[in-house]
A = this chain, B = another copy of it.
Amino acid sequence: MMENEALVHLSEQFGKLSGVGRKSALRMAYAVLAFSDEEAQEFADAILEAKQKIHLCPICQNLTDRDTCSICNDLDRDSSVICVVEDAKAVMALEKVREYRGLYHVLHGVISPINGITPDKLKLKELLPRLDGSVSEVIVATNPTVEGEATAMYIAKLVKPLGVRVTRLAYGVPVGADLEYADEVTLYRALEGRRDF
């Protein structure tokens, strides 16, 4: 048997997390070894507890540990607008702005045929039943990537025939950025979408 196989195995577990490379994974495994037994137990328990308690909201498909999530449950929110996002992280980012008061719908991915992700793999079929006449606008807030754009167009084609207004987040230069470093496509979109003072 290889020496310290348990360390290698642990670092492989960290390596499975998106965005964690081989070196970082090994560094994290070493860090765990420096934990006390109680801390290691707490870490292991936290993994299992999160997996066990958190599931998808049956309405918006966002992550929740309740029957339905706190946003869908909030009667003060405007249920006539649904913002469609790629993942739960996007919900968190938009909620931080404290400007949007409508509801969400989380797709859990974007259409990407090259990676085998077809529309039926997304939580799209759960969106249509929600457009029962009470919803007047769907804001498509998928990421400004090729896949995000394709997914947005797919959703627009699906939703528009139902007589629902479909909008897309504005493209443009990020606030605080330097024009010098903005890429050409972004600048083109910022010019195209210019507004009067």
As for how many copies of this chain the complex holds, the number is 2
Is A159's CB within 8 Å of the partner chain B? no
Q: Report whether B70 and A3 are in contact in the complex, using a CB–CB cutoff of 8 Å.
A: yes
Q: Is A87 at the interface (CB under 8 A from chain B)?
A: yes
Residue numbers in B under 8 Å from A89 (CB-CB): 26-27, 30
Is the pair A40, B32 in contact by a Cβ cutoff of 8 Å? no
Residue from A18, A43, A66 having most chain B Cβ neighbours under 10 A: A43
Whether the pair B49, A10 counts as a contact (CB closer than 8 A) is yes
Interface size class, chain A: 35 or more
A89 closest partner in B (C-beta): B30
Q: Are A45 and B44 in contact (CB under 8 A)?
A: yes
Interface class of chain A by DSSP: helix
Q: Are A50 and B87 in contact (CB under 8 A)?
A: no
A→B interface (CB under 8 Å): 3-7, 9-10, 12-13, 16-20, 24, 26-33, 35, 37, 39-54, 63-66, 69-70, 87-89
Task: Establish whether residues B13 and A19, one from each chain, have CB atoms under 8 Å apart when the complex forms.
Answer: no
A32-B17, A63-B33 are known contacts. Are A47 and B3 too (CB-CB below 8 A)? no
- State the CA gap A190–B88 with chains docked (Å): 51
Q: A13-B43, A48-B44, A50-B29 are in contact. Are A66 and B6 (CB under 8 A)?
A: no
